[in-house]
A and B are shown apart, each in its own frame.
Chain A
Amino acid sequence: DAGVTQSPTHLIKTRGQQVTLRCSPKSGHDTVSWYQQALGQGPQFIFQYYEEEERQRGNFPDRFSGHQFPNYSSELNVNALLLGDSALYLCASSLTGGQPQHFGDGTRLSIL
């Protein structure tokens, strides 16, 4: 049973570019959440998708957007990249109702 898979594993971009990160949830999970983890810090909630809609959002600017597809997979898009967007981006999937979120291995994004 595959867990949460993310692609790509590493990505290097320059300021002002746009990036798309992808996530496939664990089989049977219907909710996908995205987190940003800067070096040496805890993950910060970006947003959550359920039934192809953004259900919740953290304190991130509109440059961060996402999508969930009918097969529950999800994308995170970031426009107009800034140096401060350099981080590990984690995708987590879950079934609602108090079950732990399962995290993917993350995409390490570096902005030059």
Chain B
Amino acid sequence: ELKVEQNPLFLSMQEGKNYTIYCNYSTTSDRLYWYRQDPGKSLESLFVLLSNGAVKQEGRLMASLDTKARLSTLHITAAVHDLSATYFCAVDLGNTDKLIFGTGTRLQVFP
């Protein structure tokens, strides 16, 4: 059974600082997604990573994928308050559009 683990589960960081969220998964997959969820809201797609070594960047967020290590990272550069949200990674089991989500990382950015 595929398991997807994120750490940390909760991250409180000061504006302007950098940090990385880790996503580990237990079986082979070439498709990994990052989503953002604001309280009471739905999921917003951030990144699609489709191959080993893939790196995508959007603003202050950068995601990467290492399929051999079964690891994805979401790096936050110079955090701002607007980035406060819960971030989920999700692995596509068997490349079938069946997403297995991680536990989520709740990010709070304070002044």
Complex contact A98–B101 (CB within 8 A): no
B78 within 8 Å of A by Cβ? no
A90 within 8 Å of B by Cβ? yes
- Given A42-B88, A90-B42: A101 and B102 interface contact (C-beta under 8 Å): no
Number of A-B contacts (CB under 8 A): 60
Complex contact A105–B41 (CB within 8 A): yes
Partner-contacting stretch, out of B14-22, B60-68, B92-100: B92-100
- Give the interface size class of chain B: 20 to 34
Q: What's the least CB distance linking A44 to chain B, in Å?
A: 7
- Given A100-B48, A105-B41: A41 and B104 interface contact (C-beta under 8 Å): yes
Identify the closest chain B residue to A59 (Cβ): B1
Complex contact A33–B99 (CB within 8 A): yes
Complex contact A90–B104 (CB within 8 A): no
**Contact residues of B with A, CB < 8 Å?**
4, 31, 33, 35, 41-45, 48, 50, 88, 90, 92, 95-104
Report 12 cross-chain contacts, Cβ distance below 8 Å, ordered by A residue. Answer: A33-B97, A41-B104, A42-B88, A44-B101, A45-B100, A48-B96, A98-B95, A100-B33, A100-B48, A101-B97, A103-B45, A104-B42
* B interface: dominant SS: strand
Identify the closest chain A residue to B31 (Cβ): A98
Residue among A90, A94, A98 making CB contact with B43, cutoff 8 Å: A90
Residues of B within 8 A of A103 (CB): 35, 42-45
A104 CA / B96 CA spacing, docked (Å): 20
Residues of A within 8 A of B43 (CB): 43, 90, 92, 103
Contact with B along A76-112 (1 / 0, CB 8 A): 0000000000000010101010111111111000000
Q: What's the least CB distance linking B93 to chain A, in Å?
A: 8
Complex contact B103–A41 (CB within 8 A): yes
Within A41-59, the residues touching B (CB, 8 Å) are 41-45, 48, 55-56, 58
Residues of B within 8 A of A55 (CB): 96
A31 within 8 Å of B by Cβ? yes
Residues of B within 8 A of A48 (CB): 96-98
